[in-house]
Amino acid sequence: MAIDMRQFHQTFFEESLEGLANMETELLHLEKAAANKGQETVAADPEILNTIFRAAHSIKGGSSTFGFEDVVGFAHVLESRLDAMRDGRLTPTRNVISLLLLSVDCLRSLIISARTGKEGDNNAIDSIRKQLENLESEQPSSPPLTVPVLKPPQGTISHWQITFRPHLHLFHTGNDPLRILRELDDLGECRVQVDISSLPGWDQIKPEECYLGWKIELIGPIPRETINEIFSWVVDDCSLEIDRKPMQSLAPRSIAEAVASMDAQAGTLRVSVPKVDALINTVGELVITQTMLSLIASNFSFDNLSRLFAGITQLERNTRELQESVMSIRMLPLSFAFNRLLRMAHDMSQRLGKKVELIFQGEQTEIDKTVIDRLIDPLMHLARNSLDHGIELPAERLAAGKPETGYITLKAYQKGGNVVIEVRDDGRGLSHERIFAKAVERGMVSSSSNLSPEEIAELIFLPGFSTTESVSDLSGRGVGMDVVRNNIRSLGGSVEIATQPGRGTCFTLRLPLTLAILDGLSVQVGDQTYILPLVNIVESVRILPQQVSRPVGSSEMYGLRKEFMPLLRLNELFHVESRSTDFSQGLLVIVEAEGKKAGLYVDDLLDQQQVVIKNLATHYRKVEGISAATILGDGTVAMILDVPGLIRLAHTGTVHATPHAGDSPASSMATPTLN
């Protein structure tokens, strides 16, 4: 029976890339151990060598099972070298480790080629492969290419739906459906439903025939193969459908959607068992509370009032715990992002001739997976900058009375609803004079302006700013600090900088714990409530009517302290009846995104609150100026404003490009299209 192996490919790619990342980390450990002892070689920890070997071995096994020949070939060579290293036939010198690191890159590129079907740089890969083959070991080792056939990856939970309808003659083959059901039950959580639709009338039943059918739901870490095997003897004596049920249907809908809307590429998430246990535990408690409350409700008297309140308090606690549990599923330790920097630091310090050590603190701090994915680039950029511009050459450091080795410290900790990450180096610090001179040269500030050191440091975040005199291929690739700041801001976070000449620089990143919940300010426009993300708000002011101007061919502008910005009337934009068009009755909320400001005219400011983000596009459709929706405490729906979008609208002047009154989002709110 042919099994469609493609269903396992995705898992194979993911676990292979993960294995390679582990391998890389361990190789870097090896090298660090050697460097610390000031030796060229190390007496390596056998456990480390085993871990490295296992990764290559699993990739080889997997790729041969799934028929990725290019990967098999390379992995085989690598595995045999690593095997020699494990047996002590090959000494892990720094050169060998460097070559092995390059091999990791090759293997990664081969796996990515296999995944995407795009060819990688085959020449480079061949050359590394040759070097690997020529690596001298003390005794020749060229084991024949034996390829272990590995079982398909276990451990991923599948939800199977099986429809099993034996043909009438099944008993005549000596098979017994009961036996099959029992075997399925041994595999995992099994729910069986009997189908008696083909059972004939009592007088027509022949006891030797099988009239029953079954619908079976089976949940567990079960590969399709195992299920096929159970049915292998009867597959011609029954009609059989084995389908994998998508897991999403098991997840809570709204959260799954909120998250799906943020995840551009739908990846998979590995969740540790304790987190799942905690979740199940919380749900258990919730059920108990619910039972308790229904008991109180079923014979309610005023004597029970205190018990009812106690129950509601408990329900609140359960809900909060459930929210925390569910959120924690998407949380990953920051070490995922930090570890990616090790390799960059290794390569770059070698090329620059600098001695650098990365120190991680609090890398177990957890943050939303989406945040992690989008944090890697900014972190890379900051660390790369520190290494390139901050940390001095060893001689320079010694002359300045500092230790030869520079330190870049990445420190993470949680503070309130935020995660704070510090990227600190002990290098030369920012040169205020050079930054100021550069900014003047670029025409960003006038040479006569009198700026504080903090204001000068802020200049590096301006678009188009770069102080690199020699633009190296390592940093200063035209991607500036403004991109870093924008990336962090798009995650709802902020970046601050502190520097001391000669002592070093520290970048402080503040990020929200999750993207599924937003800190917002609710504002009133007519009878509608809108939510403004707090990160975008600069200030709120009373409007001075004399500051409103309307230049020819442009929309309304507002002048605030000599700064002019577009003025957007939210009531016009969303076709809502405003409380008053008289400016003195409302307020102007100054918002900022992507370095541009705009003033939003609203009737009133209501409250600052946390809201749960609900995707609008999946329920309604994408609306310009609105990023998502949420449900307020009283059950009404409020739109979350897309501030960058609004500002773009305001600056391009196409303010009225939004839907007409008939199908505006405001009118759709009355119908309960959101769940």
Between residues 212 and 315, which has the closer beta carbon with respect to other proteins?
212
Q: Which stretch binds other proteins (CB under 8 A): 177-185, 247-255, 398-406, 642-650?
A: 177-185
Comparing C-alpha atoms, which of 485, 453, 437, 451 is closest to residue 595? 485
Query: Which phi-psi region, left, alpha or beta, contains residue 79 (left: φ > 0; alpha: ψ -120 to 50)?
Result: alpha
Q: Which stretch binds other proteins (CB under 8 A): 131-139, 168-176, 343-351, 518-526?
A: 168-176
Taking CB under 8 A as the rule, does residue 232 contact other proteins?
Answer: yes
Contact predicate 193/226, CB 8 Å: no
> How far apart (Å, rounded) are the C-alpha atoms in residues 598 and 590?
6
Between residues 233 and 300, which has the closer beta carbon with respect to other proteins?
233
- Of 183-212, binders to other proteins (CB under 8 A) are 183, 208
For residue 145, how many other CB atoms are within 10 A of its CB? 12
Contact predicate 72/159, CB 8 Å: no
In the complex, least distance from residue 373 CB atom to other proteins, rounded to whole angstroms: 45
Between residues 181 and 286, which has the closer beta carbon with respect to other proteins?
181
In the complex, least distance from residue 185 CB atom to other proteins, rounded to whole angstroms: 11
Amino acid at 619: H
In the complex, least distance from residue 225 CB atom to other proteins, rounded to whole angstroms: 15
Q: Choose, by CB under 8 A, the member of 173, 193, 272, 554 that binds other proteins.
A: 173
In the complex, least distance from residue 1 CB atom to other proteins, rounded to whole angstroms: 10
In the complex, least distance from residue 219 CB atom to other proteins, rounded to whole angstroms: 22
Q: Choose, by CB under 8 A, the member of 151, 193, 233, 582 that binds other proteins.
A: 233
DSSP 164-206: EEE-GGGGGGT--HHHHHHHHHHHSEEEEEEE-TT---GGG--
Q: Choose, by CB under 8 A, the member of 175, 409, 467, 547 that binds other proteins.
A: 175
> How far apart (Å, rounded) are the C-alpha atoms in residues 255 and 250?
12
From the centroid of its chain, how far is CA 319? 24
- Of 610-669, binders to other proteins (CB under 8 A) are none
Between residues 231 and 601, which has the closer beta carbon with respect to other proteins?
231
Q: Which stretch binds other proteins (CB under 8 A): 170-178, 510-518, 519-527, 567-575?
A: 170-178
Q: Choose, by CB under 8 A, the member of 171, 211, 336, 620 that binds other proteins.
A: 171
In the complex, least distance from residue 65 CB atom to other proteins, rounded to whole angstroms: 18
Between residues 178 and 552, which has the closer beta carbon with respect to other proteins?
178
Between residues 171 and 360, which has the closer beta carbon with respect to other proteins?
171
Comparing C-alpha atoms, which of 427, 447, 428, 450 is closest to residue 439? 447
In the complex, least distance from residue 133 CB atom to other proteins, rounded to whole angstroms: 35
Q: Which stretch binds other proteins (CB under 8 A): 4-12, 166-174, 282-290, 363-371?
A: 166-174
For residue 182, how many other CB atoms are within 10 A of its CB? 12
> How far apart (Å, rounded) are the C-alpha atoms in residues 127 and 133?
10
Q: Which stretch binds other proteins (CB under 8 A): 49-57, 105-113, 231-239, 427-435?
A: 231-239
Between residues 233 and 309, which has the closer beta carbon with respect to other proteins?
233
Distances (CA, A) of 260 to 315, 491, 674: 28, 16, 16
In the complex, least distance from residue 175 CB atom to other proteins, rounded to whole angstroms: 5
Taking CB under 8 A as the rule, does residue 228 contact other proteins?
Answer: no
Contact predicate 595/490, CB 8 Å: no
Q: Choose, by CB under 8 A, the member of 37, 151, 182, 270 that binds other proteins.
A: 182
Classified as helix, coil or strand, 324 is helix
In the complex, least distance from residue 671 CB atom to other proteins, rounded to whole angstroms: 57
Look at the alpha carbons of 97, 102, 105, 106 in this order and tell me if their dihedral is positive or negative: negative
Contact predicate 408/433, CB 8 Å: no
Residue-wise burial string across 13-23, b where 16 or more C-beta atoms lie within 10 A, e elsewhere = bbbbbebbbbb
Q: How many residues bind other proteins (CB under 8 A)?
A: 13
> How far apart (Å, rounded) are the C-alpha atoms in residues 578 and 641?
17
Q: Choose, by CB under 8 A, the member of 37, 130, 179, 434 that binds other proteins.
A: 179
Secondary structure element (H or E) that encloses residue 158, with its range: strand 158-166
Task: Starting at the earlier edge strand, list the strands of the sheet with 537-542.
Answer: 537-542, 587-593, 596-602, 563-569, 557-560, 548-549
Between residues 203 and 208, which has the closer beta carbon with respect to other proteins?
208
In the complex, least distance from residue 223 CB atom to other proteins, rounded to whole angstroms: 17
SS3 of 568-619: the string is EEHHHHCCCCCCCCCHHHCEEEEEEECCEEEEEEECEEEEEEEEECECCCCC
> How far apart (Å, rounded) are the C-alpha atoms in residues 621 and 25?
44
Q: Choose, by CB under 8 A, the member of 117, 143, 155, 174 that binds other proteins.
A: 174
Between residues 235 and 264, which has the closer beta carbon with respect to other proteins?
235
In the complex, least distance from residue 218 CB atom to other proteins, rounded to whole angstroms: 17
In the complex, least distance from residue 134 CB atom to other proteins, rounded to whole angstroms: 40
User: How many helices (H) does the chain have, and how many strands (E)?
Assistant: 19, 22
Q: Which stretch binds other proteins (CB under 8 A): 81-89, 107-115, 175-183, 546-554?
A: 175-183
Q: Which stretch binds other proteins (CB under 8 A): 176-184, 216-224, 471-479, 560-568?
A: 176-184
Q: Choose, by CB under 8 A, the member of 47, 203, 236, 634 that binds other proteins.
A: 236
Between residues 171 and 564, which has the closer beta carbon with respect to other proteins?
171
Between residues 174 and 274, which has the closer beta carbon with respect to other proteins?
174
> How far apart (Å, rounded) are the C-alpha atoms in residues 193 and 143?
53
Q: Which stretch binds other proteins (CB under 8 A): 169-177, 393-401, 430-438, 469-477?
A: 169-177
In the complex, least distance from residue 320 CB atom to other proteins, rounded to whole angstroms: 48
> How far apart (Å, rounded) are the C-alpha atoms in residues 285 and 291?
10
- Of 344-363, binders to other proteins (CB under 8 A) are none
Comparing C-alpha atoms, which of 156, 176, 214, 110 is closest to residue 8? 156
> How far apart (Å, rounded) are the C-alpha atoms in residues 590 and 597?
7
Q: Which stretch binds other proteins (CB under 8 A): 71-79, 84-92, 179-187, 325-333?
A: 179-187
Look at the alpha carbons of 90, 96, 99, 100 in this order and tell me if their dihedral is positive or negative: positive
In the complex, least distance from residue 210 CB atom to other proteins, rounded to whole angstroms: 11
Binding site for other proteins (CB under 8 A): 171-175, 179, 182-183, 208, 232-233, 236-237
